Chain A
């Protein structure tokens, strides 16, 4: 498996005509935009920013990074890139497990779909070839049944399946693609784009393959250095010793609760009090954890597989109880019942939906109900059986589920109270309250895909995990910091090493692995430059799509309602001065990339 040829095997599939064609990515696109996120955005930009997201003309790209499927640690990820039906921005989402690796082993670097099939189809990939096959027998089924169906048909060895569920088929705006390991392309509604194309699944059969590079000894050495960093007991990635490995991402629940950055009841307050412990990573580890699954080439094993032992969901065996959905369906909805949280995450995995967006839709509706803005029964805080029922109703667009399937922003707008939607550019906020972690708030506002904790994970600095320590309650200096994180993550998302590699690796490790794998010269400074280029490319797309001055915002709650909880008491997000700092660092004019910057970066 020659790593140096990355980008040459991109399959272009017209679902309308059924034709497939292999075309290499333009060499300068691969050079400038690396792969995965960056390369996918370049394809989507070329397709034109004016397309309707759920029209046949929208592109749906599944693109590997240049290291996906190799022996590089944490290289089991790939990207889905499209124009989002939730936000109208360009969006990219990343999935773990083995599916991206298996695409590489099958001889392809990416799949670019356009058009709409007349009847439901799935794409089958093997031995460097792709074919479209009838999916009528699985249309309407959940992801879990769909995976089982294809495993029975093709054998469960050396097989990966990535599918949409009923939510995608019903064009739920935050529908997701989910694979055989319950890993998702979670955010941005990419599953609805699949549903709009009548594309049910991607099925890949391939045995693992070893990588080939120009200098095998150098390749071994750079990988060893990265692996040593991941394993270092000082790092949270350290297998079975670091907090991320032992407790998974939900190690954060108690932490953000302590510092007044855990939004509760639709972010009306910033702490869940004593209840946070009951939905925390520590609680999961002590009481319901059964296994720690992992992804291709990853020693961290941050996934947490659980079995619920009591209550109405006793017997449920699922993965994974992550921080984000534990918050969105937990504290955010005033819900301290881990069993119902696990149930709803499992529902999202099967129905194919983003649990962050789901939780925010529910919490918005709960607050609207509390304030008397909802006709009929509405939804009460922490009514777990009603939450579970509503999750199903949203996927099927039944009753009030049809309203909430539009996402919290549109739903709140239709209720006449858009101020209740905690979202940016139409995508709901994740689990770090901007009043307690001010850099994260700026990251949400300036994210190119709507509110997102992963575009600029400055929490790593604000929580003292990486050796750049900043006060989470200080707004000064966050502009340049957010830019630096955004650029670094834009590069690592385009390499598509797992985001959590950044807790152990940095530009030196990324540059060394990329340069050695592809046999090209690449320095740590090139990491920043490429990352900045990719970030500006996305912003350029968004500017052309209508996101211009004034689109980088935060909901008023975070700017005007001070936190009342310990750790962040009295604080709001000072968004305006942070934005000014940020735009200066970026060289943008109120959120718009000037032509000179586009030329400087080689985008134009």
Chain B
């Protein structure tokens, strides 16, 4: 029996949609995976995302926001170590502002 998986729904917005070629995807992760591990998986699947998700020294970028159920992980108690639950929604949002 292999390791247990959980699936999260990841949605992309604005200019990131062109990189991933779509709006939303189901992503399978090992059970208990963190937001950071999700980011690694996204960058592995879509290499063009890496420069948006990570800084040069490998930290999660503070420009593209990873939102778990509507909250940017940098404001969650565990930050990018937040553990993702089955069927949780993650939104990947580039900087956006306007009028």
Interface residues of A (CB under 8 A from B): 234, 236, 241-244, 246-252, 254-255, 258-260, 277, 281-282, 302, 322-324, 453-454, 457, 459-460, 463-465, 469, 471, 473-474, 499-500, 503, 565-569
Contacts and interface: CB of A to CB of B under 8 A. Distances in A.
A203 to B, nearest CB: 27
B99 A454 contact: yes
19 contacts: A242-B15, A244-B97, A244-B98, A246-B15, A248-B98, A252-B96, A252-B97, A255-B96, A259-B72, A277-B23, A457-B97, A460-B97, A463-B95, A463-B97, A464-B65, A464-B95, A465-B95, A565-B70, A567-B70
Nearest to A270: B70
A385 to B, nearest CB: 28
Contact of A260 (B23, B70, B75, B95): B70
Contact of B99 (A241, A471, A499): A499
Given A254-B13, A464-B62, A464-B63, A249 B99 contact: yes
Contact of B95 (A236, A246, A259): A236
B16 to A, nearest CB: 9
B17 interface: yes
Interface residues of B, number: 24
Chain B interface, >50% SS class: loop
A566 B69 contact: yes
Contacts, number: 95
Given A302-B98, A465-B97, A255 B13 contact: yes
A282 B17 contact: yes
Most buried by A among B75, B91, B93, B99: B99
B85 interface: no
Nearest to B75: A471
B97 A459 contact: yes
B63 A323 contact: no
B97 A567 contact: no
Given A251-B98, A324-B99, 10 more contacts: A242-B95, A243-B94, A243-B95, A246-B15, A255-B96, A281-B14, A323-B99, A463-B65, A499-B99, A500-B98
Contacts of B93: 254-255, 258
Contacts of B70: 258-260, 565-569
Contact of B75 (A241, A473, A569): A473
B96 A236 contact: yes
Nearest to A260: B70
Most buried by A among B15, B96, B98: B98
A249 B96 CA distance: 8
A322 B98 CA distance: 9
Contacts of B71: 259, 473, 567
B67 A469 contact: no
A341 to B, nearest CB: 15
B74 interface: yes
Q: Which of B13, B14, B75, B97 has the most CB of A within 10 A?
A: B97
B25 to A, nearest CB: 15
Given A236-B95, A566-B70, A241 B15 contact: yes
A454 B13 CA distance: 24
A254 B13 CA distance: 7
Contacts of A499: 99
Nearest to A258: B91
A463 B67 contact: no
Interface string B43-64: 0000000000000000000110
Interface string B77-99: 00000000000010101111111
